[in-house]
Amino acid sequence: MDSLTQIVLGAAVGEAVLGKKVGNKAMLWGTVAGTIPDLDVLANFFVDTVTAVEFHRGFSHSIFFSVLFAPIFGWVVWMIYKKKQANWRAWSWLFFWGLFTHPILDAFTTWGTQLFWPLKLRLAFQNIFVIDPFYTLPFLTFLILAMTQARGSQKRRRFNRLGLTISSLYLLFTLIFKGMAYQSFESNLKEQNISYSQMDIRPSPFNTILWMANIDTKDAYLIGEYSFFDSQPITFRGIPKNHNLLEGIQQKDKIQRLIQISEGWFAITKKDGHLFFNDLRFGLLSLDPTETQFAFSYKLNDMADGLEVSEVPKNRSDAKKLVTALWDRILGN
């Protein structure tokens, strides 16, 4: 999830664990704990693109990391306050839950997380987008209300508990929404006599009303959208796999790692003599039927000293156009 959401979750967890004893200090250090796992993005400055993508939401998002570092961070904070108010064990407990709930929440997104690192298994329930105002804003509101109450008061605990409860219930409902959307995609494919081997669905950005699907057929992927307000059948658009374009470089280490990262959901495109590896799990940059640029695309350069992989940058203007188009599409076709 985005940084703000993880900060809110970390603060609420910190308050739940230690707020009664240390007041707003629990929220402060809860936000720190909720932010620490995402510092893995600093790897972008030190390693190549593929390694950085692999590293993100890996070690720092694991149970192992939470168990290993919670006592260390807990000891540091305990020493900062010169052992007053709460003991080392209490601070360690706060950091454990702040570190651990971060990857738990990330597991509900499309990217997922390697909660059981060093195992390569990546949990990705794909029922919430990385930025979802319907999850974050009510949670933030109750957190602010809790902050304004006296330490240890019933109202403070009640507001914080409401924020945690409502946000958790929303996650539960989004799983139900995903099941409903999946059934709609499945029935539309059946009605249109489309044979497929796999289907992968996810919510569109910023909401859980409009859902998107990738469907794996023999020679191409189909992409479709479904809003709960739709009144027309789902239209599926074909994306050629073009896996044959990797001939000669498919067995190279970085290509195999990209295939593993994308979980096999990838298409290859060629533009201006260059090959691009497109991760289909995150869809196209816009809802325009003529859009060809994927949200996560990697340029492949076969150099004499090895394969060079670089991520294609995204423009802010693309995001603005997407937000405008999303609102119209959410309302149904």
pLDDT digits (tens, 9 = 90+) for 265-308: 999 999 999 999 999 999 988 888 888 889 999 999 988 778 99
Q: pLDDT above 90 covers what percent of the chain?
A: 85
- pLDDT one-digit tens code per residue, 15-27: 999 999 999 999 9
Mean pLDDT for the stretch of residues 304-320: 81
* Cα–Cα distance list, 266 to 60, 68, 80, 239, 280 (Å): 26, 35, 49, 10, 5
For 238, other C-beta atoms within 10 Å of its C-beta total 12
Task: Read off the pLDDT of residues 212-258 as tens digits, 9 standing for 90 and up.
Answer: 999 999 889 999 999 999 999 999 999 999 999 999 899 999 999 99
**Arithmetic mean of pLDDT, 13-40:** 96
In degrees rounded to 5, what are phi and psi of residue 170? -60, -45
Q: What's this model's pTM, rounded to 2 decimal places? A: 0.94
SS (H, E, C) 101-157: HHHHHHCCCCCCECCCCCCCCCECCCCCCCCCHHHHHHHHHHHHHHHCCCCCCHHHH
Sign of CA dihedral 223, 57, 253, 277: positive
Q: What is the DSSP code (8-state) at residue 61?
A: G
Output the six-digit token pair for 269: 């495109």
Residue 332 confidence class, pLDDT cut points 50, 70, 90: confident
